[in-house]
Structure 1
Amino acid sequence: MAGGMNRQGSGIPLGERRRAGAATGPVVGAEPVEDTCPVRHCWVADAVDLRGVKRPGLLVEWRRTTVSWEGRVVYAVTLRPGEWALVEEWLPADQLTQR
């Protein structure tokens, strides 16, 4: 499998990996530009399709409610056997994990 046998970087999330000496973001002119994209990978528990498995998702933003935090997440669910659809919804923070 291409690239599957190299364990370099194992345990470090892709978003945090970079080559030694590499800039932290795109370079404009001679100055590095910091990437401030707020989107992060997450795992969604209790997905709307009720399959009982964690789904990979994209955490787009956070909001504070009167009692806790919620994240706006986009993730895939089973619509029908063999068919997938994207769902975007606000979920309580306790349903979102990094692993």
Structure 2
Amino acid sequence: MAGGMRRRGDFGTLAERAARSRPAQPPPEPAPLPIRHCWVVGPEGVLPALLLGWEQRAAGWWGRTVHPVREQDGRWAVVEEWLPADRLRPAP
């Protein structure tokens, strides 16, 4: 077309133009992680931990945890392990 004029179809349908003029929807919020703070009772005393999940076994409930342990040389390491529920305490 002469003079830079465009046809209506060059811009899309009315629905397409309306959709482009609306602000984008924000993404949905992610589901909260099932991770909880807890305390692990062990040889070093009561230590902070993260409880990652539960599993019921023949011997009762076990919690999957991440927590610090003191190594023989006195340094601290972080371990992930399943512990019986009687070694776990809820954090306030």
TM-score tier, shorter chain, comes to 0.5 to 0.7
Q: Secondary structure at the match of 2:82?
A: strand
Match of 1:94 among 86, 89, 92: 86
Match of 2:68 among 76, 84, 89: 76
- Take 1:96 and 1:35, find their aligned partners in 2: how far apart are those partners? 25
Specify the alignment match of 1:4 in structure 2: none
Stretches of 4+ moved more than 3 A in 1? none
Match of 1:45 among 41, 47, 63: 41
Shift of residue 36, structure 1, vs aligned partner: 2.1
- Take 1:94 and 1:73, find their aligned partners in 2: how far apart are those partners? 13
Specify the alignment match of 1:57 in structure 2: 49
- Take 1:77 and 1:67, find their aligned partners in 2: how far apart are those partners? 24
Q: Which amino acid aligns with 2:80?
A: E
Task: Mark the structure with the bigger radius of gyration.
Answer: 2
Structure 2: runs of 5+ lacking an equivalent: 1-24
Number of residue-to-residue matches in the alignment: 66
Q: Which amino acid aligns with 1:85?
A: A
TM-score w.r.t. the length of structure 1 is 0.58
- Take 1:92 and 1:30, find their aligned partners in 2: how far apart are those partners? 39
What CA RMSD, in Å, does the superposition of the two structures yield over aligned residues?
A: 1.9
As a proportion of its length, which structure holds more helix?
A: 2
Q: Which amino acid aligns with 1:39?
A: I
Shift of residue 35, structure 1, vs aligned partner: 3.7
